[in-house]
Structure 1
Amino acid sequence: MYVIDWLHKNARRHPDKVALVDVESGRRVTWRQFDERASRFAEYLSGRLRLRSGARVAVLAHNSSDYLEMLYGCAKAGMVMVCLNWRLPVAELVPILEDCTPDVLVAGDGFLCVAAELQATVPLKAVLHLADDESADVPTGWTEYEAVLAASSGRAMEMPCRDEHEVWHLLYTSGTTGRPKGVIQTYGMVYCNAVNAMLANRLSRDDVFLSVLPFFHTGGLNLYANPVLHAGGTVHILRQFDAGQTLRQLDSRAAPEDRVTMFFAVPAIYLFLSQHPGFGQTDFSGIRNMAAGGSPVPRPLLEMYLAKGVTICFGFGMTETGPTVFVTDEATARRKIGTIGKPVGSMLTRIVDPLGRDVGPGERGELLIKGPGVTPGYWNLPEATAAAIRDGWLYSGDIAYMDEEGDYYIVDRAKDMYISGGENVYPAEVENVLFQLPAVSEVAVIGMADVRWGEVGMALVVVRPGMTLDADAVIAHCRAHLAGYKVPRHVRFLPALPRTPSGKVEKHKLRAQAGTR
């Protein structure tokens, strides 16, 4: 299969329609401008720099329309874009650059000092400055992004048809299980994800999507920025997530040119929105699709949105799957709170026991995934690839079960499960119960060693501002709603939980702090 240049095609179909909106700056980019600017960047890479096909271009910047121009410019030029996590310190970015060996580094304002340290450590042919602030102190020898574009011919360049297996960009995992791995993202994966998302969510050129997740994360690029662009719609881009600003953008009473029809976020963002003073007054009636993924959504949080007439359609995916694997429809989401629905489009799934045997309805096991949306592997890591993908099936590491109607549920990460007195305990189940306490703002449950029971639970709780809660109340609540072996034996209160940029709680850090596994 070959993938065509859908940016160029949409630019020819409706050149004056707005494709991208930078919310903070107010900049609006038409499809013609989008295609032209991406072409200018491609001309710089392959023409002026004379980079070979497959060369890596690393980007360290906040979300912007420029970011997507560079992504599609790399596609036109045949380069591989490396989307760097700007929350990482230099010490963690250096191994990533040493792994992917980029020729070009693009640095946005706010990351100039970090980029300068990287330049001093890693060989680079060029460093580009992506300016947000004209007063920024830019190191000598760097090139301005806008100057690069201005010096190019301006001729729209159509990407040659790409083989589905060609690498388009690299997304490095958040590193919750160790050193980050570069997950290969092919043209076929992005195309497959767009088609699956269009089928599951009925995307069209009339859709306007609000993007708040960072573009260095698969949720930022592909849920649902790239699919909406594939359909010819419009993407509104927040530089960074801000609860108040997001609620203003989601309010259906906004000006017609600012109204959005689709929104995707991780559970943590939905939680932060619900805790903002403006949540109660926000009118969500004009948004036809609100979706979530990344980690299990606490039932009380889903019910809070349902009370406002909002059905959050929960789905499931991974960086390794493009990411869309499951998306539930609104009717099913309301009828079965917490389900991720059935596998979408061309994705195949199984649930297996530790011996690799398929389990029946209601039985828990590891979720396996197969299909054209699955990555071919990890950059420079053949052993890790072989361990994760066996006989064509990606072993997700997630524990799931399927009901009698074929709808799936994610129970927890396999690595988060602990065994207490011979019984499996899934922290997500305990966390759901704890979220029922009004004073709980955030919560995570981890397993810790115990002489008598092997392992017992520890609840790490963040209390809502202005409210109080003690350990006895936490344990008493759990005893009233859970089997005895699931009740945490220890409770610790924290000011906040460590999270990855995608909103997942970094339980490996909590275990290290608590001196557990």
Structure 2
Amino acid sequence: MAQAEGLAILPMSKRVMNLANFLSEAARRFPKEIGFVWGNKSWTWSQIDQRVNAMATALQSKFGVVRGDRILIQSQNCNQMFESMFACFRLGAVWVPANFRQTPEEVAYLASASGAKGMICANAFPDHAAACRASSNELEFIVSIGTSKFGDEYDDLVDAFSGQTTQMALVNHDDPCWFFFTSGTTGRPKAAILTHGQMAFVITNHLCDLMPGTTHKDASLVVAPLSHGAGIHQLTQVARGSKTILLPTEKFDAAEAWRLVEEWKVSNMFTVPTILKILTENQSVATYDHSSLRYVIYAGAPMYRTDQIHALKTLGPVLVQYFGLGEVTGNITVLPPAYHFAEDNTQAKIGTCGFARTGMQISIQDDNGNEVSAGATGEICVIGPAVFAGYYNNPEANEKAFRNGWFRTGDLGHLDEEGFLFITGRASDMYISGGSNVYPREIEEKILTHPDISEAAVIGIPDPVWGEVGLAICVAKAGAAPDGAAIIDWLGNKMARYKLPKRLVFWPEMPKSAYGKIAKKLIRDELIRRKELDA
């Protein structure tokens, strides 16, 4: 392209704002306002910023953490976990949160795969700390949240380095800030690299599309682990100086959630359809005032239409749905309150997950990467600033994830004439249980380590509470007569509970394709034939 006369083209700087600056700005503008609440404790923005500065100094001075180092986090929701995110960002280090429900073996793999230099681990997880030490030669230190025998105590370090600060690391657009662990069809976790530049767009996009008008006067209730979508949602709150309210205990309590909504005049929350169903069906919803709610955002799984109608009638026009993978940090579609209808009228697009997010573009493509026409089913692909930088140390996965610049979600769907997206299936066998992705092959591999099992296949089947649950179909080894319930118990300490199949059945042989492969479509057909699954 010819340069316009008199127009000087200057090289664009890749330098961007460090995400930790969101916290510094909140502390600067609203120093005495409450920024974080957990149980009977609360912290002002100034106090949070001071604690983050102290922990960042400790990580740098005591443990030698520098820009690019990975720090693994194993903890339930707490103020220290929230703070650790910004301490890592401030140093230019990478925050690597694990799902706290995962087993020691599963988290040890994350430590090794990420090349974590250090770990911040709640004292309730000594076995996880030990497993990570044993599996990773690169892990140099562990900080304990609460008193333990496996590491320096987090709050002691904050006290020791209180009043000290470090210079905020200079970062570029593509500098990693967060490893968001996800999985593909192989079931092996992969670290999706989220960057400072990408996440600045995501936060802006969330404020634009999910909760417009959010200010420092708002409050957000956290009802999901900060390690995943809820953590990204809370970054958005910090960007506006909105206070974050944690549930006081790990166990979800609907009545306590509604009490906190009333007490703190909560205006938004991020949740999954399973939790939203529990919240709106609990009798306490009528006991406490929830009129302050403007946005109840749900994602992570389909929501049954009957549950959607009930939630709308209970809460009013406050529901916001979005669709997106961890690799796109949730930024593919949005269905705002104005597009949620409690009646099946001509305006309601039943089954849609919304239209493209601001700044994002969706393409439905066939197997060759050609865009299909409106109404035709294909793979959902997306481009835009919210797409991740790629998988860490996994060129094979990166090769499969992108085609002609488009990120391939692996989900199947179609766009209507107006650009509303409808998800019609999954290209992989992955299913979603209670908002968490479950990958059958990982479970199948564990089942096949049982001495009495010859073959195994796991599929997701509908469940009124969790959306989907696992059904394991197995073939026993000759002469063995294993008990299904006993095998599920045996699996209990080998994987996170949400991955456990709800039921296990035995067949004399497994349906196979002409190529001798176990065919899950044939398994579903057989389940329907046996009347064990509704067609």
3-state DSSP of counterpart to 2:314: coil
Q: Residue 420 of structure 1 corresponds to which residue in structure 2?
A: none
Alignment partner of 1:226 out of 225, 235, 248 = 235
Q: Are 1:46 and 2:24 an aligned pair?
A: no
Q: Are 1:128 and 2:143 an aligned pair?
A: yes
* Mapped contact 1:352–1:365 kept (Cα < 8 A): yes
Give the Å deviation of 1:41: 1.1
* Mapped contact 2:92–2:170 kept (Cα < 8 A): no
Give the Å deviation of 1:506: 5.4
Q: Residue 196 of structure 2 corresponds to which residue in structure 1?
A: 187
3-state DSSP of counterpart to 1:193: helix
CA–CA separation in structure 2 for the residues paired with 1:262 and 1:241: 20
Q: Residue 318 of structure 1 corresponds to which residue in structure 2?
A: 325
Give the Å deviation of 1:400: 1.9
Q: Are 1:77 and 2:91 an aligned pair?
A: yes
* Mapped contact 1:213–1:241 kept (Cα < 8 A): no
Bigger mean CA offset, 231-240 vs 359-368: 231-240
Alignment partner of 2:409 out of 390, 393, 396 = 396
Write out per-residue CA displacement over residues 21-78 of structure 1, whole angstroms, 9 at most, x where no aligned residue. 11x3x22111111111111111112222223321111111111121121110111112
* Mapped contact 1:170–1:183 kept (Cα < 8 A): yes
Write out per-residue CA displacement over residues 355-396 of structure 1, whole angstroms, 9 at most, x where no aligned residue. 322222222221111111111111110110111022221100
* Mapped contact 1:294–1:504 kept (Cα < 8 A): no
Q: Residue 421 of structure 2 corresponds to which residue in structure 1?
A: 408
Q: How does 1:264-279 map to 2 (within 5 A)?
A: 264-279=270-285
Give the Å deviation of 1:316: 0.7
3-state DSSP of counterpart to 2:270: strand
Change (3 A) 1:82 1:309: closer
Q: How does 1:170-249 map to 2 (within 5 A)?
A: 170-173=179-182, 177-200=186-209, 201-202=211-212, 203-217=214-228, 219-222=229-232, 224-238=233-247, 242-244=251-253, 246-249=254-257
Tell me the matched-pair count: 437
CA–CA separation in structure 2 for the residues paired with 1:276 and 1:33: 36
Q: Residue 63 of structure 1 corresponds to which residue in structure 2?
A: 77
| Unaligned ranges ≥5, structure 1 | 418-426, 432-443, 447-456, 465-491
CA–CA separation in structure 1 for the residues paired with 2:505 and 2:185: 12
* Mapped contact 1:56–1:79 kept (Cα < 8 A): yes
CA–CA separation in structure 2 for the residues paired with 1:186 and 1:511: 41
Q: How does 1:370-389 map to 2 (within 5 A)?
A: 370-389=383-402
Change (3 A) 1:412 1:513: farther
Amino acid at match of 2:231: L
Give the Å deviation of 1:196: 0.3
Q: Are 1:117 and 2:128 an aligned pair?
A: no
Change (3 A) 1:509 1:398: farther
* Mapped contact 1:20–1:235 kept (Cα < 8 A): yes
* Mapped contact 2:185–2:429 kept (Cα < 8 A): no
Amino acid at match of 1:370: I
Give the Å deviation of 1:214: 0.9
Give the Å deviation of 1:6: 1.6
Q: Residue 353 of structure 2 corresponds to which residue in structure 1?
A: 340
* Mapped contact 1:252–1:283 kept (Cα < 8 A): no
Give the Å deviation of 1:277: 4.2
Write out per-residue CA displacement over residues 151-173 of structure 1, whole angstroms, 9 at most, x where no aligned residue. 11513445244212001121211
* Mapped contact 2:112–2:135 kept (Cα < 8 A): no
* Mapped contact 2:77–2:246 kept (Cα < 8 A): yes
* Mapped contact 1:349–1:367 kept (Cα < 8 A): yes
Give the Å deviation of 1:220: 1.9
Q: Residue 263 of structure 1 corresponds to which residue in structure 2?
A: 269
Change (3 A) 1:512 1:65: farther
Q: Residue 530 of structure 2 corresponds to which residue in structure 1?
A: none
Change (3 A) 1:18 1:296: same
Amino acid at match of 1:9: E
Q: How does 1:364-375 map to 2 (within 5 A)?
A: 364-375=377-388
CA–CA separation in structure 2 for the residues paired with 1:383 and 1:77: 30
Change (3 A) 1:458 1:93: closer
Q: Residue 334 of structure 2 corresponds to which residue in structure 1?
A: 327
Q: Residue 470 of structure 1 corresponds to which residue in structure 2?
A: none
Change (3 A) 1:239 1:114: farther
* Mapped contact 1:171–1:182 kept (Cα < 8 A): yes
Amino acid at match of 1:358: E
What is the alpha-carbon root mean square deviation over aligned residues?
3.3
Alignment partner of 1:91 out of 99, 102, 105 = 105
* Mapped contact 1:249–1:260 kept (Cα < 8 A): no
Give the Å deviation of 1:204: 2.2
Give the Å deviation of 1:144: 0.8
Bigger mean CA offset, 153-162 vs 354-363: 153-162
Bigger mean CA offset, 149-158 vs 102-111: 149-158
Change (3 A) 1:463 1:183: closer
TM-score using structure 2 length: 0.74
* Mapped contact 1:248–1:254 kept (Cα < 8 A): no
CA–CA separation in structure 2 for the residues paired with 1:118 and 1:126: 10
Give the Å deviation of 1:241: 5.9
Q: Residue 31 of structure 1 corresponds to which residue in structure 2?
A: 45
* Mapped contact 1:333–1:339 kept (Cα < 8 A): no
Give the Å deviation of 1:339: 2.5
TM-score using structure 1 length: 0.76
Q: Are 1:150 and 2:159 an aligned pair?
A: yes
Amino acid at match of 1:167: P
Write out per-residue CA displacement over residues 461-517 of structure 1, whole angstroms, 9 at most, x where no aligned residue. 6678xxxxxxxxxxxxxxxxxxxxxxxxxxx99xx9x99xxx998599979988673
Amino acid at match of 1:52: V
Write out per-residue CA displacement over residues 82-137 of structure 1, whole angstroms, 9 at most, x where no aligned residue. 11222221222222211112221111132123213322443432221101xxxx6x
How high is the sequence identity, in percent, across the aligned residues?
A: 26
Moved over 6 A (4+): 507-516
Change (3 A) 1:253 1:371: closer
Change (3 A) 1:297 1:28: same
* Mapped contact 1:63–1:239 kept (Cα < 8 A): no
